[in-house]
């Protein structure tokens, strides 16, 4: 499952990088089916980061990797 998640994130990355951000895979829990990611760069503190996470990253992961139930953000530390 982790490899599938990484493949999808690699396809999403160029769009985030175009806006000065990125996404980092933190954890894939196969038991709970939760993926944890960290939004970095401009995405880490963008007011629209929740929208990016839920409507972009989570939606695409759920479509491409049906095992994924949800995606959660891990805070970025400054």
Q: Is residue 13 part of a domain?
A: yes
User: How confident is the model at residue 42, as a pLDDT?
Assistant: 87
Burial class, 77, CB count within 10 angstroms (exposed 0-12 / middle 13-18 / buried 19+): exposed
User: How confident is the model at residue 62, as a pLDDT?
Assistant: 96
Check if the beta carbon of residue 64 is closer than 8 Å to that of residue 4: yes
pLDDT in tens, 8-65: 999 999 999 999 999 999 999 999 999 999 999 888 888 888 889 999 999 999 999 9
Q: Which two tokens stand for residue 32?
A: 């709970």
How many domains are contained in the chain? 1
Q: What is the DSSP string of 18-65?
A: HTTEEEEEEEEETTTTEEEEEEEEGGGS-TTHHHIIIIIIIHHHHHH-
Q: Is residue 78 part of a domain?
A: no
Q: What is the CATH number of the domain that holds 67?
A: 3.30.300.130
Residue 78 scores a pLDDT above 90: no
């Amino acid at each position: 499952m982790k490899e599938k998640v990484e493949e999808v994130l690699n396809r999403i990355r160029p769009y985030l990088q175009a806006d000065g951000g990125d996404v980092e895979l933190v954890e894939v829990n196969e038991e709970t089916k939760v993926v944890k990611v960290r939004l970095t760069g401009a995405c880490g503190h963008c007011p629209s980061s929740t929208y990016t996470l839920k409507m972009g990253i989570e939606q695409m992961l759920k479509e491409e990797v049906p095992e994924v139930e949800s995606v959660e953000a891990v805070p970025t530390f400054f």
